[in-house]
Structure formats: structure tokens, C-alpha cells
Structure 1
């Protein structure tokens, strides 16, 4: 509660314990959840130190010579000017070393608080937090086969995620409930995470006002002061690769960073279509985009929690279809993990790469 809230009227104190307490304890449903994983397995270093040096030097060249676009966002352009970047139209060129310097204030590890403090997770360092899938538009069941998802499906997936011992996080858009209007479905989705699970969850990013709705709902759930001083949400901020930061995603990032909530800065790349076809070239673009996005979050609020993310797959050069489960996707994911460790940032990636 904020300090301006009037004190509650005195009430008669109820007697603690007794039969009511015992009955509540017997009927309470408690689902066991394994603690987030503290990894002791050595990291898989697919790139040499020399290769990492080349990729970072080339990423700095991209930022300084080519630049990135911050579209439909005059305030962002002014913010970049204020820290020493060169702005021409909507193109921002970031001098060598500036993005790296700005990223230095991002924490290497932070706690995401859950409604149930026993479900809090440590993000970063050697900690591994497992979360459900994000964003499927379709679901499949034995009766209906493949179909568009509904809010009922969404709630069932949240409940299943809560019941899973090995999922530490409730996730975000575990499916897209198409039976609820776009301008309000984020409210129902976030409420489902709050009501049907007590694990950490993700907020809405589909429009800046919806990001603010997420912060406001968390302020009701946790208390406004608590939210401003603790991280209770993560959010997924995708970059419109190549090198474009749109006003919707950046507007949501601005809301989350300003309110001390975490953002996953994640390029969404299909190699060969939105990035160079080579692994090294794609990693160069990934790093350039992440550096610009993380740096911008720190311009908004130094110390705001942020996670380096990447979702990269490749394209079939014959058909133009995206391919999943390829060696290239794995190599880029491993390489991006090395770059995240080099930057001292938590890292979010996919796993279980396959074509299914």
C-alpha cells in the first residue's frame, strides 16, 4: 500500500487457530513445484574467444555505421540524442562503446517475485528457470483436432502449468484466445495467471497502454510500493529485424522499464531472410539489436532488469519456408548464450529444437 492510504478502521480481532484453521489446512490445495535449477553442468562454448571478439567488433560497426531505426517514436530519438547518439530522420547511429557502456547498468541477476513467495525465481547467473511455450495461435485436442484457441483453453493451460512440478514459471501467452476481443483479452489472460496460478508470470506487450494495464493490475495484486521496488513481471519485447524498433514494442518496453519490471529483448530472425545466411553474420545482427534494445531500456531507467533473448531459425532457400530443428538454430542459440555471458546479462532461449 502507498503511504497516502488511510488506515483501516479498527475491527474486532478474531480468535486464531481452532477448527476453522484446521479445516482450511485440510482442504487447501497445494501443488509441489521444484525449485529453479542451479546449473553445475559446464557451459557449451561453441565459439572461441577470438570469434566472440570479431562478432562484437562487427556489431559495434553495424551500430555506428549503419545504425538502427526507431520508428514513430520522436521521444526515443530525443533520448538517444541526449546520450550522444547521432540521429538522422528515424535512424539512430550509436558510437562505438556507447551501447556497451549503457548496458553496464543492467543487473546480471534479479529476483522475479511470485504471488506465493515460495515460488520466487532467480533469473540470471547459473540459474535455470523453465517456463511454458509462448504464443501458439492454435491448439489441438482429441475431439476438435487443430483449431483456434479460446479463453477456456488458455485457462486450462495456466492450470496445467501450475500443476507441473517442473515448470517454475506460469509464462505469458501460453496460447492466443481468439474468442476474446484483442483490446481486452490481455486483461483476461493476466487475470488467469493471477487467479489460477501462484507462480511468476509475464505481462502484456501488444500495446503500450496494455503494458500499463499489466503494471496497474500487479499494483492491485502486490501493492503499488512493492511493484515499484521489486520485479513481479517479465515481458517479451521482439525487435522487427533487421534493425528496426517499432513504437508499439518500444512503448511497452518504456512502461516496463520505467516501473522496474523486466523485459526480454529478443530479435526474431529467420536467417537468410531477415539476417545474413551465415551463423557468424546472424549472431552479429543479433548482438547489434540486443545491444541497442538493452541500452535503450537503461536510458529509460538505469538498473531496470532486462534479459537478452533470441529466437532464430533459418529459411529453406529453395521454398522460402522457415525451418526448425536445424543445426544452425542450435549453433546460434549457443553462440548467443556466450554473448549474453560476455555482456553479463541473463539469457532466454528456446530449447528442444525439432521440426514437429
Structure 2
């Protein structure tokens, strides 16, 4: 099978150097883990644990043993098997995901940003479920629910409005149990959840080299129930990571490697994806930039390194922009980032529908990004060279003043070319005659067409009732209670 091309952002010697530094720092300096429950398990497994300092060091043997037991490929599963996909991608291409944790939603009807609501979140999820090139859906944050249980409400809405795999993360330690209880209610049993996890969890580092109770409990429960873990580094160059690209790559890789080791200690064979969510601090404003050149280069280099040296699938954000408009800047950043990161080897790229850095989502942008994926995938795809595609006989048989329009070869291959409906190539006369509309206006029209067709997938009443009861239970236990969030 033809395989997509690759670019190298690091030489082999540079990869080896970074790998050795990862092992040296993780075994000599270690990481801070603010969770006694996890510290006790790691100590029993043979890690060097300083309980007072909450510092954990892993020996080289433990690290390399973990890299042996962690799966090098696995199937990401949704609620329905038709949405399952294998990582890494069999052809070396990539999959896409929507953006995560959005609290602001661009309402196309009034052309302004508003708070995410349960209603808009349900519509967003159903829209993403309909779009062919969106393979995974990330959790958003409804603002019309109690803040203490917003993540539980969010997961419930997502699970009831799509059968695609989900991207899930806890917002506080107290909700982790309820998130997994909600998964169990949807699955029906522990065995069913292990067989079809429906989602991936996203524990994150607290850079530099620190892990919170919430994320450690997420890892522990993911390992318990067989839910794949996406080990996510949030290092910010110049703030929580070194300002250089190389320094950020090293720090992020250490944090991801630490989570790989912990998952394999807690439950050998737990699937893990390395997630590179590195950004750069703008020294002029203090903002964390997503679409600047240095951040792109750092994520590309880290993706290549983690995939080659840890031999696990890689996820990173790419369909992101620092612009709050679906404008030229957004299109440039959302084209360049995915193309670059695909060439670096990233298997899943999330951020579809995102505007405004890490703050806002737009259903119109989601529709544009869905089609943009098709173009990037085609551009970065392999060139198939064989006797038939070379069309040697057609070239020899054609006269100097001939053409290839009516050949059998053209008829056989003409449907292989992509024609994304939003990206038109009309003549000037035609555009002027029918009235020229821009990309955004065409996407709005498509959104209005799709919105009329949206509906949640069928779900048995008893399962829906059980899921809703978990949300009510979470509200009863956490809303307005001291210590919650």
C-alpha cells in the first residue's frame, strides 16, 4: 500500500540525543506527582518515590520496559463500530477531531460570540457527527449548567448526540468518578466498556514536570476500565517550558514519557497516544500563541520524535488559529499547520471548528475545516506510480495535436480527483452572472442545509434515563458544596 511522504525536522542523531536526555532527566530528576494514591502504587512497583517531596524517579529499565508493553497501534472506538479507526493511520495519513473545552460559540444567526449552551452543544455534536471528515469529537463546556459539574453535563450531551469516538477530560478531581460512571451507564457494564470504550481520556501535565490529582485519577481509572489514554503536554515555550523549540520538545517529551510509564505500571498494555499541545508565550502580550511559526515547528519536531522513539501514535492540535474570524489568517494557519504536522507524522489532529486561539468554536468554521481536510489529505498523499498510472501507451498513441479527454484511461481515473463543494473554481463571467459568494457565505448556506437534517442518534430510553440520573447524582453531590472546584 502506498504510504504518505514524510519530512524530517530532527536528524537521527538529534532524536537519539533527545531520547537519552528524556531518560536521564526522568530517572535522575523525575516528576512531581501530587497524589498519594498514585505514589503508593508507583513505590510498590519499584519507582524511586520521595513521599515528602512528592517526587518520583523511574529507572531506565522501568522506562524501557514500559515502551515495550505500550501498544504501538490500536483501534479507537466509538459507540458504533462504523466510526472506529486504527492509529497510526494505515496509509500514514491522519484523522481529525473537533476543538476542545470551548466556552464561547459563534452564533451564525446573529453573527456574534455567545456562551455555549446545552442546546448549542447538542447541535454542534450532531453537526460534527454528520461531517464525513470529522473522526473524533472533543468535549465542550456548556455555560448554562452548574460550573461544578460542567464536564459531567458535557459528556452526557455528547454521548447522547453522537456515536463517534469522544475526547474527554475532567475539570476537577471530584468529577472523575462521575465521568466514568456515565461511561458505564452508556456502555451497560464494565465488560462492555472495556470492549468498546467509546472515547479517549486526556490527562495533562502541569508543566514543568508536575501532575495533578485530577489527572492521576483519570489515568488510574482509564487503566482500570481499559480506556485509551492520550498523554497530553501543555508546555508553553518561554513560560512553563524553555523558550527554544528544542527545549520545549524535550520537556514535552519527558512529560508524555512519564505518563506512558505510569499507565504501563498501573495496567500493562493500556493504549496510549502522545499528545503535543505546546504553544509559545508572546513576550509582548503574555498570550499563549497557537498559530505562530515557532509553535508549529515545535509540534512538528515533537510529533516526529515521539512517534519514532516512543513508537506510539501521536496527536496534536493543528486546525487552530489565533484569529477570531474565519478570515485569511485563519485559512493560512488552518492549512499550514495540518499539512506540516501530517508530514511530521501526527496521527490525529484536533481543533476543527476552532477560532480565537483556545477560546471559541464556530459551526461555520467546522464545515470549512471538514472540507479543508480533504484538500490537505490529497496534497500530502502518495503519488501512485505503476504501469497503469504512467499511461505510457496513451502517451505513445496520442498525436502531437491530440488530447486525452476521451481516452479510456481518463474515464477510468477522472473521478479520483477531489472537488470540495465549498472551494469553487468558476470563471469570472460565471461568478459575476450568478453573484459571487465568498467561502464563508457558501459555508453558511451549507450549515443551514445541514441544520435542517440534524437529529440525535437513537438511544434506548432506559440507557438515557440511567445517564441522566448520573448527572443528577453529580449535581446533588457537588453543586454548592465546599471543596468542589
Q: Does TM, scored on the shorter chain, surpass 0.5? A: yes
1:264 CA drift (Å): 0.8
Residue 305 of structure 1: CA displacement? 1.3
Q: Residue 91 of structure 1 aligns with which residue?
A: 55
Show the counterpart of 1:148.
115
Q: Shift of the alpha carbon at 1:318? A: 3.4
**Alpha-carbon contact 1:114-1:199 (below 8 Å) kept:** yes
Q: What SS is found at the alignment partner of 2:234? A: strand
CA deviations on 1:149-175 (whole Å, 9 max, x unpaired) are 211121111011012111112x232x3
Q: Which moved more, 1:229-238 or 1:288-297?
A: 229-238
In the other structure, the counterpart of 1:245 is 211
Aligned to 2:39: 77
Secondary structure of the residue aligned to 1:348 is strand
> Deviation of residue 144 (structure 1)?
6.6
Distance in 2 of aligned mates of 1:289 and 1:330 = 19
Report the Cα distance in structure 1 between the residues aligned to 2:285 and 2:148, rounded to whole angstroms.
Answer: 36
Shift of residue 272, structure 1, vs aligned partner: 0.6
Give 2:266's match in structure 1, choosing from 293, 300, 310: 300
Corresponding position: 1:164 with 2:131: yes
Q: Which deviations, in whole Å up to 9, do the C-alpha atoms of 1:214-257 show, x marking residues without a partner?
A: 33333333332221234322011111000001111111111111
Q: 1: CA distance between counterparts of 2:2 and 2:178?
A: 35
Q: Answer with 152-161 or 331-340: which moved more.
A: 331-340
TM-score normalised according to structure 2 size? 0.61
Selected match of 1:60 from 3, 23, 27: 23
Q: Is the 8 A contact 1:313 1:329 kept in 2?
A: yes
Question: How many angstroms apart in 1 are the aligned matches of 2:93 and 2:69?
Answer: 20
Equivalent position of 1:104 in the other structure: 68
Instruction: Please give the alpha-carbon distance, in whole angstroms, between the structure 2 residues aligned to 1:290 and 1:62.
Output: 13
Q: State the Cα RMSD in Å.
A: 2.1
CA offset digits 1:124-147 (Å, max 9, x no partner)? 353622111111221122427223
Question: Could you say which residue in structure 2 is the equivalent of 1:327?
Answer: 293
- Looking at structure 2, the residues matched to 324 and 130 of structure 1 have their Cα atoms a distance apart, in angstroms, of 17
- Select between 340-349 and 145-154 the one with higher mean Cα deviation: 145-154
State the 1:292 CA deviation. Answer: 0.7
Q: Which moved more, 1:221-230 or 1:103-112?
A: 221-230
Q: TM-score, normalised by structure 1?
A: 0.82
Unaligned runs of 5+ in 1: 1-37
Distance in 2 between residues matched to 1:215 and 1:320, nearest whole Å:
36
Greater shift in the superposed pair: 289-298 or 330-339? 330-339
* Distance change (3 Å), C-alpha of 1:84 and 1:127: farther
Q: Does 1:211 align with 2:173?
A: no
Of residues 89, 98, 103, the one that matches 1:132 is: 98
1:268-287: per-residue Cα shift (whole Å, max 9, x none)?
Answer: 01101101111111111111
Shift of 1:39: 8.4
Structure 2 counterparts to residues 1-356 of structure 1, below 5 A: 40-71=3-34, 73-88=35-50, 89=52, 90-125=54-89, 126=92, 128-142=94-108, 143=110, 145-169=112-136, 171-173=137-139, 175-208=140-173, 210-224=175-189, 225-341=191-307, 342-352=309-319, 354-356=321-323
Residue 25 of structure 1 is matched in structure 2 by none
For residues 119 and 243 of structure 1, do their structure 2 counterparts lie closer, same or farther at Cα, with a shift above 3 Å needed?
Answer: same
**Cα separation, 1, equivalents of 2:48 and 2:69:** 22
How much does 1:288 deviate?
A: 0.9
Name the structure where helix makes up a greater proportion of residues.
Answer: 2
Superposed displacement of residue 180, structure 1: 0.4
Supply the distance in 2 between the matched residues of 1:204 and 1:290 (Cα, whole angstroms): 16
